[in-house]
Structure 1
């Protein structure tokens, strides 16, 4: 299904849902100035068109035993497409990897990994990541303190574009 353009109300809906995805449809409709039925139709359309990918609970990592975060720069042996695709597939399937980015610069990929502790990181690094044959080099940066993580996307550009179009 092709994506349609979103308007100010759609933007308001996704902003509110980023802030609190547990809002009932009635509460959401009230916040965005719609009646419940049109609000629900818009939310369903935003889901179907891929603007809203899903809903989940944000967890306190250390409370669930995953307080050790590591940011890893990974260099691959060569840049053969098949090898890179195999690396990507393997990394995406690793539950410890909570984010993976193809990047430019020193590294080829930048991973965010969460594990219980340093021993858990060693098991991940030696038992999984370094077992991938295409991995040439790994540089680890351990997070000492997390000041901000999992923040809502900044949608101000959408609001500014809509105001300019009016």
Structure 2
């Protein structure tokens, strides 16, 4: 998909990633075009599905979610139906910030945000352990965020 994008499209995307609320007139000035073609390019990238939406990014720390735990999950069943059931259920847990299916010694890796260890224990006991087909888990508590990015430049 990025093959169809030119350097100006990439500049527009970088600016939008950095500040999705930038006025089109300011964005146009930054990329060296007038307002109309910039707006048309944005609309085209939205229609292509490259830009999927705009949202506010909240600070987990300011929200009191200072505790980060990475969690390995092993399932008792890895047939397609079980994977689908797990995927659907884990998406409903708001404290699960990220969830990846892994090829390796376990099935899923979750990033869980909580207020503190007691809150994490509650989330584990009430929500994660109750997910379909969970057989075993291993938790790794993060002590410090060394690199944490909300976006990747294009």
> Structure 1 length normalisation: TM-score?
0.85
Judged with a 3 Å threshold, the aligned counterparts in structure 2 of structure 1 residues 95 and 131 are, in CA distance, closer, same or farther, namely same
More deviation in 22-31 or 49-58?
49-58
Query: Which residue matches 2:133?
Result: 134
Structure 2 unpaired stretches of 5+: none
Deviation at 1:154, TM superposition (A): 4.0
Residues 89, 132 of structure 2: 8 Å contact kept: no
Cα deviations across residues 81-120 of structure 1 (Å, max 9, x unaligned)? 1111000001111111111111111221111111111111
Deviation at 1:3, TM superposition (A): 9.3
Matched, 1:153 2:152: yes
Residues 3, 49 of structure 1: 8 Å contact kept: no
Query: Which residue matches 2:8?
Result: 9
Residues 85, 132 of structure 2: 8 Å contact kept: no
Residues 10, 42 of structure 1: 8 Å contact kept: yes
Residues 75, 133 of structure 2: 8 Å contact kept: yes
More deviation in 2-11 or 68-77?
2-11
CA distance in 2: counterparts of 1:50 and 1:103, whole angstroms: 26
Residues 11, 31 of structure 2: 8 Å contact kept: yes
Matched, 1:38 2:31: no
Query: Which residue matches 1:125?
Result: 124
Residues 70, 141 of structure 1: 8 Å contact kept: yes
What do you get for the CA RMSD once the two structures are aligned?
1.8
More deviation in 89-98 or 142-151?
142-151
Alignment of 1:80-91 (within 5 A): 80-91=79-90
Match of 2:129, SS state, is: helix
Residues 71, 141 of structure 1: 8 Å contact kept: yes
Query: Which residue matches 2:55?
Result: 56
Residues 4, 49 of structure 1: 8 Å contact kept: no
Match of 2:61, SS state, is: helix
Deviation at 1:57, TM superposition (A): 2.5
Residues 66, 114 of structure 1: 8 Å contact kept: yes
